[in-house]
């Protein structure tokens, strides 16, 4: 949680109490676009191409509402490593048939294998940016070109990387990028965000209600424009103020500096873990991602023990825990972590 979060939420309460509905005209209606421009700086996108959304699912709904694919083009191409809820959404909501590209090692995807699954039946290619980066990452430009050659669209889920790794979604040519606002964005509540390639913003016709600056929160915007056409109605100003508090220091520091800090932090963690006799199961090269995974005897027991000591980690299956150090962590945090996990694992 950012130190500024309480101040931002207090600002929301003060505006609510003092000006009431007038706050929509003064500040609240602009929040999705203001934050979208901040996110754009972190993902390599143009201003006015991104927006905060009420949730990650809302971003998928906005994209899906743009299309009515013909019967001969009903394929979703994705991968075994895809953890995004988008897989389920595109199958159940859009009724697409799923083609899943397998990973030979459980961690990487071969570009040529993925390319071989894209043909004239492909409507959507949906990938996660976490396995599209690093030494063994897929060649996204080739994937995008192949999808566009058959009139398909590419969605990049950046939930596990945006805010920690520099990216350039616009020059890659992806049609859409989505993500969550908790995690690396330090946004607290799990709202979402959506990038639409500038060439598509006015070309597509989303069926969502839309939202515009100065909009009336009690009624759909009669004439939303630009990226606002992809919103599903008025935003949640409290959630977006919390997100603003998380984004501001990241934008101020700069994503390149955050990446350097991440590499230093994950390097320290990897070194400490090896010294503690733990097995590192994630990438340890200079191209590694922002998350370190460690092999342990019982991941869920280890996680519960760490959480009881207010040390927050994730799990990557029954035998792995995952750690995502951010720009605010320091070496003392990692020293304390390795001491703690060693005592729990051997306890």
- Mark the ranges of the chain whose per-residue pLDDT is less than 50: 134-136
How much is the pLDDT for 344?
Answer: 67
pLDDT one-digit tens code per residue, 49-91: 999 999 999 999 999 999 999 999 999 999 988 877 777 888 7
Q: Could you say which of 3.40.50.2300, 3.30.1180.20, 3.30.70.1450, 3.90.1150.10 is the CATH number of the domain covering 255-345? A: 3.90.1150.10
> What is the pLDDT, as a whole number, of residue 227?
94
274 φ, ψ to 5°?
-65, -40
Please give, one letter per residue, the 3-state secondary structure of 190-256. Answer: CCEEEEECHHHHCCCCCCCCCCCCCCCCCCCCCCCCHHHHHCCCCCCHHHHHHHHHHHHHHHHHCHH
User: Can you give the pLDDT at residue 135?
Assistant: 44
pTM for the structure as a whole: 0.90
Do the domains at 5-253 and 255-345 have one common CATH topology?
Answer: no
User: Measured between alpha carbons, how far is 57 from 305 in angstroms, rounded to an integer?
Assistant: 32
The torsion region of residue 163 among left (phi > 0), alpha (psi -120 to 50) and beta comes to: left
Pick the CATH number of 5-253 from 1.10.1380.10, 3.40.718.10, 3.90.180.10, 3.40.640.10: 3.40.640.10
How do the domains of the chain map onto residue ranges? 5-253, 255-345
What pLDDT does 222 receive? 62
**Alpha carbons 23 and 239: distance in angstroms, whole number:** 15
Residues linked to residue 180 through DSSP beta bridges, in sequence order: 192
Which pLDDT value is given to residue 31?
Answer: 92
């Amino acid at each position: 949680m950012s130190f500024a979060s309480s101040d931002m939420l207090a600002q929301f309460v003060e505006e609510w109490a003092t000006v009431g509905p007038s706050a929509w005209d003064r500040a609240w209606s602009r929040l999705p676009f203001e934050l979208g421009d901040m996110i754009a700086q972190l993902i390599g996108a143009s201003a006015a191409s991104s927006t905060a959304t009420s949730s990650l699912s809302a971003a998928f709904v906005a994209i899906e509402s743009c299309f009515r694919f013909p019967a001969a083009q009903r394929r979703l191409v994705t991968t075994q490593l895809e953890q995004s809820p988008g897989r389920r959404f595109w199958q159940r909501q859009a009724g697409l048939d799923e083609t899943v590209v397998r990973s030979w090692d459980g961690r990487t995807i071969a570009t040529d294998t993925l390319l071989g699954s894209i043909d004239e039946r492909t409507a959507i290619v949906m990938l996660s940016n976490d396995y599209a980066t690093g030494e063994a990452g897929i060649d996204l430009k080739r994937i995008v070109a192949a999808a566009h050659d058959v009139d398909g669209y590419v969605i990049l889920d950046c939930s596990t990387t945006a805010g920690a790794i520099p990216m350039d979604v616009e020059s890659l040519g992806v049609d859409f990028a989505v993500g969550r606002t908790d995690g690396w964005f330090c946004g607290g509540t799990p709202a979402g965000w959506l990038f639409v390639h500038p060439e598509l913003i006015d070309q597509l016709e989303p069926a969502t209600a839309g939202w515009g600056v100065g909009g009336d929160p009690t009624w759909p915007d009669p004439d939303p424009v630009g990226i606002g056409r992809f919103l599903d109605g008025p935003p949640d100003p409290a959630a977006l103020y919390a997100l603003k508090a998380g984004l501001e220091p990241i934008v101020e520091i700069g994503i390149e500096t955050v990446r350097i800090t991440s590499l230093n932090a994950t390097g320290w963690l990897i070194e400490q873990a090896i010294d503690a006799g733990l097995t590192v199961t994630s990438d340890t090269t200079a191209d590694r991602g922002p998350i370190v995974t460690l092999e342990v005897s019982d991941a869920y027991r280890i996680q519960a023990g760490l959480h009881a000591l207010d040390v927050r980690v994730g799990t990557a299956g029954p035998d792995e825990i995952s750690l995502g150090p951010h720009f605010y962590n320091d070496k003392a945090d990692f020293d304390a972590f390795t001491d703690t996990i060693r005592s729990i694992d051997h306890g």
